[in-house]
Amino acid sequence: MRLTFWGAAREVTGSMHLIETNGTRLLLDCGSKQGHRREANERNANFPFDAASIDAVLISHAHIDHCGNLPTLTKHGFTRDVIGTHATNDLVRIMLFDSAKIQEQDAAYLNKKRAGRGEEPIVPIYTRADVEVAVRALTGRSYNFWFELPHANIRAQFLDAGHILGSAITQLDIVESERTIRFGYTGDLGVKNKLILRDPQPAPPLDYLIIEGTYGDRLHSSRADSEKELARIIGETAAQGGKTIIPAFALDRTQEIVYSLHRSILSGALNPLPVFVDSPLAMDATEIYRMHPDIFDQETLAFMEKNEDPFGFRQLTYTRDVEASKAINDLYGPAVIIASNGMVEAGRVLHHVKNNIGDRKNTILFVGYQAENTLGRRILDGAKRVRILGDEYSVRARIARVDGLSGHADRNGLLEWVRPIADELKGVFVVHAEEQAAEALVEGLRGLGIRNAIAPRYGEQFNLN
Ligand SMILES: [Zn+2]
């Protein structure tokens, strides 16, 4: 078989890996590349292979850097199945429509300016009409259930990756000249003891593995401490009459924080106060979480058996329409406002940060990774003045961070997951990691005795047997 890395190679976005065997071409993930606009557009608009020649796509989970470019693939002639877990497929639908909507809005905004300068209009990479077509290909499978792929020389199964709802580790048995190659792809690997989700399933016996390495060079604080920290910071801010603004991604992080606050209020760690989730996408994602309790962990199921709702409580309000969102600004007194996006680059969170960052009583609380060149990163790095939606604001609010709520395994989590199968692995490929994290994880894997551990480059090919 031949393996080619067409994305997330020494970077963290655009996951896409091609497997070719006995005339079958299989794609693992079809994600969007994010980052510098021109480069990302160039990569996302063109495939380095013939889209029509792909026999099936297996999607590891619904984050846009893993599924976001599916509509382009169908636009370019792909007509076969896109296979994910049932929950993944439900989430992929809302994520793709949201992505198309943002692209259409961005294009409309830019085209107004371009028209003024007499420039050609730009077109979105894909629109909602393209998504309508792409989502028809989604085919659902359950965890721990083997299924055959089109050419019958490959069978596959999904294991729970514990990263977001529906996330999967993909296990493949590829038969070549009567020999079976056991192949695995972690997708994004989750963490143990994460709220709502089950722990990642152990690694099955494998010959080759593609592993993510987002935090290949770092360790997280403990989750239990992080939950306490979250309640403590909100409590301190409320005690002085302030609001806590939490920029959070709509998918998973928001559901987890809502559940965590509910637990803290019930346990008395946090005094009840108004909490707002101001994100239509987060509301849609929460509805899909509610549809899949069959894949929640035991603790969450026990919580629900006591007639408690992990995603709702008396003081919690979800706001969908713009008027309700604006009304939050007029609210007097302590409150928590959770809004996306998580890196304060776009969306409703911009308005809440703008309205609250100038007041000492308030807190901007970061709970996720802040990439370079984002507003979230500048605030976190201690900028005294920031530009938001065209105006300058002084940073007087408290800036805080809780770092143990990540959805990704840290260095120890990754290495511990691989350790039980290290002796039988013939090769491991580290993807979904920036240069430094990738190199550090490669070194860690070699420390487990895996000599053929490498971080492939974009377009690099490997013949495996
Ligand atoms: Zn992910």
Kindly report the CATH number assigned to the domain that includes residue 80.
3.60.15.10
User: pLDDT at position 257, please?
Assistant: 97
The answer for residues whose C-beta is within 8 angstroms of residue 371's C-beta and 6 or more apart is 343, 377
Residues 30 and 112 in one domain: yes
What pLDDT is attached to residue 373? 80
Distance between CA atoms of residues 175 and 147, nearest Å: 14
Could you give the CA distance from residue 69 to residue 458 in angstroms, rounded to a whole number? Answer: 17
Same structural domain for residues 379 and 430? no
215 by Cβ neighbours in 10 Å (0-12 / 13-18 / 19+) ranks as buried
459 C-alpha to center of ligand 1: Å?
A: 22
As to burial, measured by CB atoms within 10 angstroms (0-12 exposed, 13-18 middle, 19+ buried), residue 52 is: exposed
Spacing, Cα 61 to ligand 1 middle (Å): 7
Residue 301 contacts by C-beta under 8 Å, 6 or more apart in sequence?
Answer: 293
Distance CA 221, CA 232 (A): 16
Q: Cα of 320 to ligand 1 centre, how many Å?
A: 25
- Exposed / middle / buried, residue 347 (Cβ in 10 Å: 0-12, 13-18, 19+): buried
Q: Which strand (E) or helix (H) includes residue 418?
A: helix 411-418
Show which of 401, 423, 440 is a domain's final residue. 401
pTM comes to: 0.94
CB atoms within 10 A of CB 337: 27
Ligand 1 centroid to residue 347 C-alpha, Å: 20
Alpha helices (H) in 62-197, listed in sequence order: 64-67, 70-75, 86-116, 128-134
| Residue 301 and residue 152 share a domain | no
CA of residue 63 to ligand 1 center, whole Å: 5
For residue 120, how far is its CA from the centre of ligand 1 (angstroms)? 35
Contact between 81 and 57 (Cβ < 8 Å): yes
**Is 280 found in the same domain as 159?**
no
Eight-class DSSP state of 407: S
pLDDT at 36 (0 to 100): 78
Number of alpha carbons in the 13 Å side-chain half-sphere of residue 113:
5
Q: Domain check: are 86 and 39 in the same one?
A: yes
Per-residue pLDDT of the chain (465 residues; tens, 9 = 90+): 999 999 999 998 999 999 999 899 999 999 999 877 788 889 999 999 999 999 999 999 999 999 999 999 999 999 999 999 999 999 999 999 999 998 898 889 889 989 999 999 989 999 999 999 999 999 999 999 999 997 778 999 999 999 999 999 999 999 998 899 999 999 999 999 999 999 999 999 999 999 999 999 999 988 889 999 999 999 999 999 999 999 999 999 999 999 999 999 999 999 999 999 999 999 999 999 999 999 999 999 999 999 899 999 999 999 999 999 999 988 899 999 999 988 898 889 999 999 999 999 999 999 987 877 889 999 999 999 999 988 999 999 999 999 888 899 999 999 999 999 999 999 999 999 999 999 999 999 999 999 999 999 999 999 999
434 and 343 housed in the same domain: no
| Separation between Cα atoms, residue 361 and residue 300, nearest integer Å | 34
Same-domain status, 454 and 374: no
390, 171 Cβ separation under 8 angstroms: no
What's the gap in Å between 14 CA and the centre of ligand 1?
11
* Centre of ligand 1 from the C-alpha of residue 66, in Å: 7
Phi and psi (nearest 5°) for 140? -95, 145
pLDDT on residue 307: 86
Tell me the DSSP string of 19-30: EEETTEEEEE--
Output the CA 186–ligand 1 centroid distance in Å.
11
Residue 291 CA to residue 114 CA, distance in Å, equals 44
How far does residue 292's CA lie from ligand 1's centre (Å)? 18
* 341 preceded by a cis bond (ω within 30 of 0): yes
CATH assignment at residue 320? 3.40.50.10890
Q: From CA 181, how far away is CA 207, in angstroms rounded?
A: 6
pLDDT at position 250 is 93
Residues 199 and 337 in one domain: no
- Give me ligand 1 centre to Cα 64, in Å: 8
Q: Which residues pair with 208 in a beta bridge?
A: 183, 427
Gap from CA of 188 to ligand 1 centroid (Å): 5
Between the CA of 163 and the centroid of ligand 1 the distance, in Å, is: 7
| Angle, in degrees to the nearest 10, between helices 435-447 and 411-418 | 40
For residue 380, report the distance from its CA to the centre of ligand 1, in Å.
22
Domain boundary among 352, 379, 401: 401
Together in a domain, 113 and 207: yes
End residue of a domain, out of 361, 378, 401 = 401
Q: Report the separation in Å between the CA atom of 219 and the middle of ligand 1, taken as the mean of its atom positions.
A: 18
Looking at the structure, tell me whether residues 303 and 190 fall in a common domain: no
Query: By three-state DSSP, how is residue 143 classified?
Result: strand
Question: Residue 2 is encoded by which pair of tokens?
Answer: 């031949």
Q: Are residues 389 and 282 in the same domain?
A: yes
Question: Where in the sequence is the domain holding 31, given as residue range(s)?
Answer: 2-218+407-463
Same domain, 158 and 272: no
Count of domains in the chain?
Answer: 2
Distance (angstroms) between ligand 1 centre and the Cα of 98 equals 17
CB 212 within 8 A of CB 187: yes
